[in-house]
Structure formats: C-alpha cells, structure tokens
Amino acid sequence: MSRSVSDPDVSAEVDRALDELAGRQIAVVTGAGVSTDSGIPDYRGEGAPKRTPMTAQTFLADEEARRRYWIGSHLGWRAFTAATPNRGHEALASLERAGVVSGIATQNVDGLHLRAGSSRVVELHGTMRRVFCTVCFQVFDRRDIGERIERENPWISVPDNVPLGPDGDVAPDADLDFEIPNCTVCGGMLKPDVVFFGEFIPAEKFREAEQLVRASDALLVAGSSLVVNSGIRLVERARRRRLPVVVVNRGATKADARATVKINGGTSEVLARFADALPARI
C-alpha cells in the first residue's frame, strides 16, 4: 500500500532521496504509474484491467485479430488523447527547465511528458501519435488515420464506461463490420508506431536511453515496476557506475533491493516535492 508524503516514514524517505539527488544531473525512467493520475491505468497495479496484449505476430498474421485491434485501438485512442499531463509530468518538465533533469526514458506511449513541456524524451516503446506502413514505411499522423476510420466507419463512437487500457485501447464487445485502414501510398498494412508484446525495443532507442544515463550523475525511476527488461537494464547501467538510484513507485519493483532509496508512494506527489526542493540545492 502506498502512503502520502505527509506520512513520517515517507517524508523521511523523500528527504533521504533529496540528499542523494541534490546537486546531481538526473536521468529519469518512467512507467505507467506516472500516468495513472491522468486517468490512464497501469498494467499491474491495484485495479488494473485484465488484458491479453496483442502480439506483433498475431497482428501481422490474422486479419480478424487485426480488425478487433483497430476497433479497440481507435475507441481507446479517442479517450487516451483526452488525458492531460498531471503534477508528476509537470514536475519533471520543471526540473528539466531548471537544469536538474537531463532527460526522460519512458516506457509510456501516451506522449504526456512532451505535452507537459519536457523536451528530451526517449519513447522506448514508441508513441500512439504515429502510424506507419509495414511495406513502404510511410509514416502517418494518428489523427489523420482516426479521421479516415470515422469517415469509413461512420457508426463508430466511444462507448460510455468502457475501461481504457494502458496502451490506449479498449476491448470491443463483439466483432463488428469494420474497414481496416491501409496505406494510401502503396496499399500496405498499417501498424501503430508502438512496440507490441513480443517485439524488441529498437536498438537505437535503447542506446539513446543509455546515453542519458551515461551523461547523468543519478537515476530516478518513477512509476515502473521494472518488470520490462529495458528499465531494469538501465538501472544496472547506473549501478555499474555507482550512481545513486532512487525508485518511486506504488508497490514492489524489481529494483527495490538495488535502490539507494525506495519510496513507496504516488509519483505525482513525490515528484512535485522534488521539483520544489531540488532546484534550490543545485
């Protein structure tokens, strides 16, 4: 169970973290827990919806699965894009402007760090903002694809009270007559520019994240259980350089035993506290 920073134990953990981070350039790794206060659920936390993620193999090979994916993805994307940055996103953007945060490597595809004003963001798992052709690799703005979907499927609308998934999708109740969007350049298959379950993170993206850690003096992990290998590998890069590692997350993470400080609390509240205190301690 997470606690408020007003809790004496959490307040002491935050103070310890501030001591470790003060005067350092901080690389940040974020996960789904950073966006829960924006209304986007995480994968494994309390109340997270049960879900069977679409694999890249199924998406590419099965037209019916692809149709169901596009229906759910479009319905969820409309709700997904209505989400706005929360205090945690804004705190990290403020810390970057103050010269404290060197950059963010995020496992999220929601784009909320960029919308909050962070400028150096490595989107490890891609972004919901783009769609690309798997044949000619033409890139499309997701908004344009959304308009095409609604023009070609005028019946489609966002149903009320449908749980939103962490990747900006929902589960449609039934198979519906749906025109799958294709590439307007070559007619090829379109795919959202996100890393599907079973796909590897692009090597160049991971190198960018490694460079962030290499150029920094400390690592802050916020809102990630670090079950995905990319996150824990970045923690190991920091540990090898003997950098302080601060983890802020509701519940256990794979790095708890390796962290210099672990704060079992909500990211919005804790990051706002960091944004208030760290610039004065440069």
| Active site residues per annotation | 125
Burial of residue 102, with CB atoms counted within 10 A of its CB: 0-12 exposed, 13-18 middle, 19 or more buried: buried
Question: Residue 144, Cβ neighbours under 10 Å: how many?
Answer: 12
Of 252, 248, 231, 172, the closest CA to residue 10 belongs to 248
Answer for the pair 40, 89: CB distance below 8 angstroms, yes or no.
no
Q: Which two tokens stand for residue 87?
A: 């205090």
